Amino acid sequence: MAKYFDVHPENPHTRTIHTVADSIRSGALIAYPTDSCYALGCKLGSRDGINRIRSIRHLDDRHHFTLMCQNFAQLGQFVHIDNDVFRAIKAATPGPYTFILPATKEVPRQMLHPKKKTVGVRIPDHVVTQALLADLGEPLLSSTLLLPDEDEPLTQGWEIKERLDHEVDAVVDSGDCGTELTTVVDFTGGGADITRRGSGDTTPFE
């Protein structure tokens, strides 16, 4: 049965955040809010966490997992970024964007796209997510909480708890965070390729 944490969206309790971060460090799979939908998250490099996310969402090995990063400095440890891409991403973060970039050796192999050796990264503009990442001290391996055969992600913590009670270890509820997915920009082909238009403004990448 999943533990349930009711967290204020603008002033999260430090002790609660620390408890959730400790559970992640111990191998927990959580459902948590972001600035663009709820997501599933686990410790970086957790093979069990990746397998559980794949099982819940029915994902194959071509799925791009996302590294949810606290800031740009942290993001830069895990992906290769040239100067032009650096400026474009810097100007758009934090925000509801996922960027596909070549991964560094710091990224666990099981997270990588099997052929391209790329990974998704993003820096969220959400108080609770940022507090969790700050306590964790490293990126959170993540995937949008979009269940198989459903068109929209789950948006209510109580419903996530009800439906995934025996599939996740904890649910962090800080209220509705919308159903619109992130905008995905792929920088691996020599330019900015918008592969999904979501809640982020695409103008800077057109």
Q: What is the pLDDT of residues 167-189, one digit of tens each?
A: 999 999 999 888 899 999 999 98
Give pLDDT, residue 143.
95
Which pLDDT band holds residue 71 (cuts at 50, 70, 90)?
very high
Of the candidates 76, 78, 69, the residue with the CA atom closest to the CA atom of residue 34: 69
Q: Where are the domains of the chain?
A: 3-205
Q: Count CB atoms within 10 A of the CB of residue 190.
A: 6
User: DSSP letter string over 10-33?
Assistant: SS--HHHHHHHHHHHHTT--EEEE
d(CA 133, CA 127): 10
For residue 63, pLDDT beyond 90: no
Taking the domain 3-205, which CATH number applies?
A: 3.90.870.10
pLDDT in tens, 91-143: 999 999 999 999 999 998 888 877 888 999 999 999 999 999 999 999 999 99
